[in-house]
Amino acid sequence: MSRSLGRVAAGDTGREQRSPGEEDFRSYYGRRVLKEPVWEWLVPAYLFAGGLSAACAELAAGADLTRRPRLRKAARLGALGGLATSMYFLIADLGRPERFHHMLRVAKPSSPMSVGTWILVAYGPGVGVAAAAELLPARLRRRWPGKLIGALARPAGLASAAVAPGVASYTAVLLSHTAVPAWNEARDRLPFVFTGSAAAAGGGFGMVCTPVDEAEPARKLAAVGAVTELVTSRQLDERLGVVSEAYRTGKAHRLRQWSEYLTAGGALGSLLAGRSRAAAVTSGLALLAGSALQRFGIFEAGVQSTKDPKYVVVPQRRRVDRGEQA
Amino acid sequence: MTVSRESFYGPLDDVSGDAGYTEHPERVGFFTDTSVCIGCKACEVACKEWNLLPDDGFDLLGMSFDNTGELSANSWRHVAFIEQPAPLRESAAAREADAVDLGLPSFDLPGAGTGEETRTDFRWLMSSDVCKHCTHAGCLDVCPTGALFRTEFGTVVVQDDICNGCGYCVSGCPYGVIDRREGDGRAWKCTMCYDRLSDGMEPACAKACPTDSIQFGPLDELRERARQRVATLHERGVTEARLYGEDPNDGVGGDGAFFLLLDEPEVYGLPPDPVVPTRDAGSMWARAGVAAAAFAAAAVSVFFGRSSR
Ligand code: SF4
Ligand code: SF4
């Protein structure tokens, strides 16, 4: 049968004609082929909080080694706060939260969620000990448990800093290792968007919470992260074929556009943030918000790409018609 | 049990063996021949009854006779109905049909003909969809709790006492089959009647199908039978008959439940060329590794260089 019958022949007679210029494809009454992700806003919030925590852990370890006590304190607490909220989001999004620990009954290399669970298991304790050392009241520091925590803080912080890059990047694989077209097709670029976004958030957090004379590394990290995020995020809009449309349209587009404004503004602001605390706080907040909106935008693009059969059928049909291997 | 590249992509002869079973029965599957489906939905009902599945609500979807809509946590068989203009056939009957019917009385009893000569310019496609029990199952690969597992029969089953409802499998399936049940929080899908198989019985849907559109058996036998069926249909002029999911070289290593279709897969709501996401696991982790290294390098380098202190 000729393809020119288009969607009409697909049993959806007279429905939802696509505007001219749009791909012609066939479907079952225009219905979705894939299931929408069952995840809600908690998952993009997790992505943001986890990235923030990872970048803070890096800043904390560096600040510790280069004797910047106020940056160290802020970053260690940021790392713990980010981790704790991300764990809450992660567990709350389960259909059976009380069965969270079932994640710990296997270690499965083929499941990025399993790999991520074990990355977090390796990451968490160091973050906890380092933050505990900052929170310990002075009178407890002189007793032996306090002394022990004080002595362990540096190695613990360094250990978590060693795992932190994994925390910041594995979430990209978590999303890409799915059949969701917008996430799967972005698999080569998403890790860079995510680590960039994490660095921008962590740097921004450091700028907000630390006096300017100690915050130079945070400003630099924020700038590097923001530029990485801005450049690689654009590629999602342009280089993913049909699927790019999911990033360029609708709510995903609006979220990511605001993310771009805030991240670019924050990056520019970070250049001035060495002189003014007000500028540092403003640009730091902008970077944090930009990073969060980026995660929500990417999440939304994925959801949209499962709702419209176009994103599944058009690329696959093209591949079949060209006789290409999957 | 050896884990090799074949464990994640490409043809795999012994799925159960690859999953760690040393001794196991033959791999079994479904061959759903949609050319003889009459759309009675006995399979949907038998499945609901045997597996005690909750109802999905009573919706009138306005899509031909399909009020189920799609496979879901509560519908493990789904009969699709497609009404469409029929492809023109260069057969004698088709040419005859071109002649103008003047409505003159004839000697034929109404409904006496059942063959090609009765075809009109309109046709109805019906197809009973089900979980494909993929050779490389996206749902199974990503499940972080081990709730999803490969059975000794080569099928893919969720253990409801293990699943914590993380929902990863829902996004991991390239066919959009498995889903989380509302109010229950866990993921559910076709088990190919694991309980019945263990007792040497065929799955409820295959048992109930009155036309043998759903055939159950050892996968190798079904594949052979399906090839013969396509050849027969082609001989009879049904050139649009094709198999879907039977090829071990496809993006999921072949389906344990495959189909004979009379139009392109997307017309039935099936993806034309699905690929298990695990195919790209290696390259994705490699890219993430590069990004992680760059992140670490950036974090170290920001502490070097000119300091304002
Ligand atoms: S069709 Fe989907 S749910 Fe069924 S085995 Fe394959 S990946 Fe899993
Ligand atoms: S929802 Fe259940 S079956 Fe699905 S991946 Fe998560 S734990 Fe596994």
DSSP secondary structure of B245-281: S--TTSTTS-BSEEEEESS-GGGGT--SS---GGGGH
Contact of B223 with B206, CB cutoff 8 Å: no
Contact of B72 with B56, CB cutoff 8 Å: yes
Closest atom, ligand 2, to C-alpha of A111? 5
Strand B28-33 versus strand B257-261 pairing type? parallel
Q: What is the pLDDT along chain B (309 residues), one digit of tens a residue?
A: 456 777 889 999 999 999 999 999 999 999 999 999 999 999 999 999 999 999 888 889 989 999 999 999 999 999 999 999 876 665 545 455 555 556 666 666 766 766 666 667 888 999 999 999 999 999 999 999 999 999 999 999 999 999 999 999 999 999 999 999 999 999 999 999 999 999 999 999 999 999 999 999 999 999 999 999 999 999 999 999 999 999 999 999 999 999 999 999 999 999 999 999 999 999 999 999 999 999 999 999 999 875 544
CA distance A220 to A214: 12
Structure tokens at B206: 């295959």
Question: Which strand (E) or helix (H) includes residue A282?
Answer: helix A277-307
CB B7 near ligand 2, within 6 Å? no
Residue partners of B241: CB distance under 8 A and separation at least 6: B35, B229, B230, B233, B234, B260, B261, B262
- Indicate if the alpha-carbon torsion angle A282, A284, A288, A291 is positive or negative: positive
Report the number of distinct structural domains present in chain A: 1
Residue A194 has pLDDT above 80, yes or no: yes
- Indicate if the alpha-carbon torsion angle A234, A238, A240, A245 is positive or negative: positive
- CA distances for B209 relative to B32, B46, B51, B213, angstroms: 10, 9, 16, 7
pLDDT, position A7: 40
Which chain B residues touch A188 with a CB distance below 8 Å?
283, 287
CB B139 near ligand 1, within 6 Å? yes
- Percent of residues, chain A, with pLDDT higher than 70: 93
Structure tokens at B7: 């464990």
Contact of B206 with B31, CB cutoff 8 Å: no
Q: How confident is the model at residue A139 (pLDDT cuts 50, 70, 90)?
A: confident
Which chain B residues touch A316 with a CB distance below 8 Å?
271-274
Distance A276 CA to ligand 1 centre (A): 56
Does the distance separating the beta carbons of B80 and A173 come in below 8 Å? no
How close B231 gets to chain A, by Cα (Å)?
Answer: 19
Closest atom, ligand 2, to C-alpha of A113? 5
Closest to A171 measured CA to CA, from A135, A132, A201, A148: A201
Output DSSP code: residue B92. H
pLDDT, position A15: 38
A326 found inside a domain: no
pLDDT, position A9: 38
Residue carrying structure tokens 């900052």? A134
Distance B173 CA to ligand 1 centre (A): 5
Structure tokens at A195: 């680590």
Residue A254 sits in which domain range? Answer: 34-321
pLDDT, position B307: 54
Fold type of domain B9-86+120-276 = Alpha-Beta Plaits (3.30.70)
Closest-lying ligand to the alpha carbon of B156?
A: 1
CA distance A312 to A243: 9
| Amino acid at residue number B122 | F
| Measured distance between the N- and C-terminal CA atoms of chain A, rounded to whole angstroms | 24
pLDDT, position A141: 85
CA distance B200 to A149: 61
A3 found inside a domain: no
* Cα atoms found within 13 Å of the Cα of residue B183, Cβ hemisphere only: 4
pLDDT, position B6: 77
Q: B9 to chain A: nearest residue by CA?
A: A326
Contact of A297 with A252, CB cutoff 8 Å: yes
pLDDT, position A18: 52
Q: How confident is the model at residue A8 (pLDDT cuts 50, 70, 90)?
A: very low
CB B177 near ligand 2, within 6 Å? no
pLDDT tens profile A262-297: 999 999 999 989 899 999 999 999 999 999 999 999
Residue partners of B149: CB distance under 8 A and separation at least 6: B19, B140, B156, B157, B159
CA distance A155 to A151: 8
Does the distance separating the beta carbons of A216 and B171 come in below 8 Å? no
ipTM greater than 0.90:
yes
Q: What is the CATH number of the domain that holds A250?
A: 1.20.1630.10
Question: Which strand (E) or helix (H) includes residue B199?
Answer: none
Structure tokens at B148: 């999803």
Average pLDDT of every residue of chain A:
92
Contact of A126 with A163, CB cutoff 8 Å: yes
**pTM for the whole structure:** 0.92
Contact of B155 with B28, CB cutoff 8 Å: yes
pLDDT, position B266: 97
Contact of A221 with A58, CB cutoff 8 Å: yes
Q: Which of B30, B72, B135, B156 to mutate to test the pocket of ligand 1 (most atoms within 8 A of CB)?
A: B156
Does the beta carbon of B5 lie under 8 angstroms from any beta carbon of chain A? no
A174 found inside a domain: yes
Contact of B28 with B216, CB cutoff 8 Å: yes
Residue partners of A82: CB distance under 8 A and separation at least 6: A49, A50, A51, A52, A53, A54, A56
A74 found inside a domain: yes
| Residue owning the nearest CA to atom 4 of ligand 2 | B169
Residue A161 has pLDDT above 70, yes or no: yes
Q: Which of B177, B244, B259 to mutate to test the pocket of ligand 1 (most atoms within 8 A of CB)?
A: B177
Contact of B189 with B73, CB cutoff 8 Å: yes
Q: How confident is the model at residue A165 (pLDDT cuts 50, 70, 90)?
A: very high
Strand B214-218 versus strand B28-33 pairing type? antiparallel
pLDDT, position B25: 97
Structure tokens at A56: 């803070």
Structure tokens at B256: 């344990």
pLDDT, position A13: 38
Strand B179-180 versus strand B156-158 pairing type? unpaired
Least-confidence region, from A12-26, A178-192, B102-116, B238-252: A12-26
pLDDT, position A24: 87
In this prediction, residues A227-250 reach a mean pLDDT of 96
Does the distance separating the beta carbons of B303 and A65 come in below 8 Å? yes
Does the beta carbon of B187 lie under 8 angstroms from any beta carbon of chain A? yes
CA distance A233 to B205: 48
Contact of B165 with B185, CB cutoff 8 Å: yes
Closest atom, ligand 2, to C-alpha of B148? 3
CA distance B214 to B209: 6
Question: Which strand (E) or helix (H) includes residue B82?
Answer: strand B77-85
A297 found inside a domain: yes
pLDDT, position B100: 59
Does the distance separating the beta carbons of A32 and B145 come in below 8 Å? no
Which chain A residues touch B274 with a CB distance below 8 Å?
179, 316, 326
Question: Which strand (E) or helix (H) includes residue B283?
Answer: helix B281-301
Tell how far CA A199 is from the center of its chain: 10
3-state secondary structure of A250: helix
Q: Which of A5, A31, A35 to mutate against chain B (most B CBs within 10 Å)?
A: A35
pLDDT, position A10: 45
pLDDT, position A14: 35
Residues 72-111 of B with CB under 8 A from A: 80-85, 87
Which chain A residues touch B165 with a CB distance below 8 Å?
94-96, 99
pLDDT, position B104: 66
Q: Is B77 exposed, middle or buried (0-12, 13-18, 19+ CB in 10 A)?
A: buried
CA distance A59 to B302: 9
3-state secondary structure of B158: strand
Does the distance separating the beta carbons of A28 and B142 come in below 8 Å? no
